[in-house]
Amino acid sequence: MSVQSIERAFSLLRALALGPMGVTSLAQRVGLPKSTVARLLAALETEGAVAQVEDGGEYRLGEGLIDIAGATQPGRNLVATVRPHLLELTADVGETSGLSIESDGAVYYLDHVESESDVQVREWTGESLPMHTVPSGMCIMAHWPDDKLDAYLDIELEKATAYTLVEPDAIRDRLAQVCSLGYAWGYEEGVDGINSVAAPIFEADGSVEAAVHIHGPAYRFPNPDRSHDLGVLVVAAAASITEYLTD
């Protein structure tokens, strides 16, 4: 493959990192003829670098990139695995979805996919929030061993908003609810004006590796009639991710 072909192939991969696209849209975005794009996609598909969402449909990044992405820095393998699920959640719900892990006793946001709404929430990728203030943290804490949870609840907890739970007994009750339901809702507890729902992604040994979530402006998210359905939706996404990672 020539240097020019490699450059063009990478331009397609960068474009697909934004979300699934068809040949025509890709050709327009990267400024190449459709015939060239179709030829490059066929070669990339053979190597597993891209895949079609459905036969004859749009293309997305493929599983062949996961090991390569995972070798670059911690967490990237997980990001590459989870991103297609985030794209699907955002497309289904119309709100921003994201991926987070535990890091230094806080929730660290690894990745997100924005909705197309005119009203956006700020991007949290690369930032951290206290574990007890957000649903992703609650999902992780709900599966901590007792001694680790006791140690966390023994410290003076930050009250990020007027709605943040900081009383140990109230947090324990919430964590029990998370274990029962499989998901956690947070209503302006971590950030004013933002509601979120999350579910845990498990390791093979039953510990929690990460959490997947959907969040949006409190004035429109969630529709009260859909709060349980949205919880079930993120649980299904997390379960699918868990199955792939532990297979």
**Predicted pLDDT of residue 151:** 96
Region(s) of the chain under CATH 1.10.10.10: 3-61
The confidence score (pLDDT) of residue 186 equals: 96
Phi and psi at residue 135, to the nearest 5° = -60, -35
Name which of 39-53, 55-69, 120-134, 184-198 the model is least confident about: 55-69
| Lowest-confidence segment of 22-31, 152-161, 182-191 by average pLDDT | 22-31
Beta strands 184-187 and 128-130, pairing class: unpaired
Q: Which residue has the higher pLDDT, 174 or 14?
A: 174
| Predicted pLDDT of residue 18 | 66
- Most distant CA atoms of the chain, gap in Å: 63
Q: If you average pLDDT over every residue of the chain, what do you get?
A: 87
Give pLDDT, residue 180. 96
CATH superfamily of 67-246: GAF domain (3.30.450.40)
d(CA 150, CA 156): 12
pLDDT-based confidence at 71, cuts 50/70/90? Answer: very low
Residue 124 DSSP label: -
Separation of alpha carbons 170 and 228, rounded Å: 21
User: Helix (H, G, I), strand (E, B), or coil: what is residue 186?
Assistant: strand
Q: Convert the pLDDT of each residue in 178-221 to its tens digit.
A: 999 999 999 999 999 999 999 999 988 888 989 999 999 999 99
CATH 3.30.1490.20 fits 3-61, yes or no: no
Q: Where in the chain is the domain with CATH 3.30.450.40?
A: 67-246
| Residues 192, 136: Cα–Cα separation, whole Å | 16
What six digits make up the tokens of 88?
């699907």
In which band, very low, low, confident or very high, does the pLDDT at 52 lie, cut at 50, 70 and 90?
confident
pTM score, whole prediction? 0.70
The two structure tokens encoding residue 4: 């020019």
What pLDDT sits at residue 127? 83
pLDDT band at 68 (very low <50, low <70, confident <90, very high): low
High-pLDDT (> 90) share of the chain, %: 58
- Stronger pLDDT, 149 or 83, i.e. the higher one: 149
Judged against a pLDDT cut of 60, whether residue 75 lies above it is answered with no
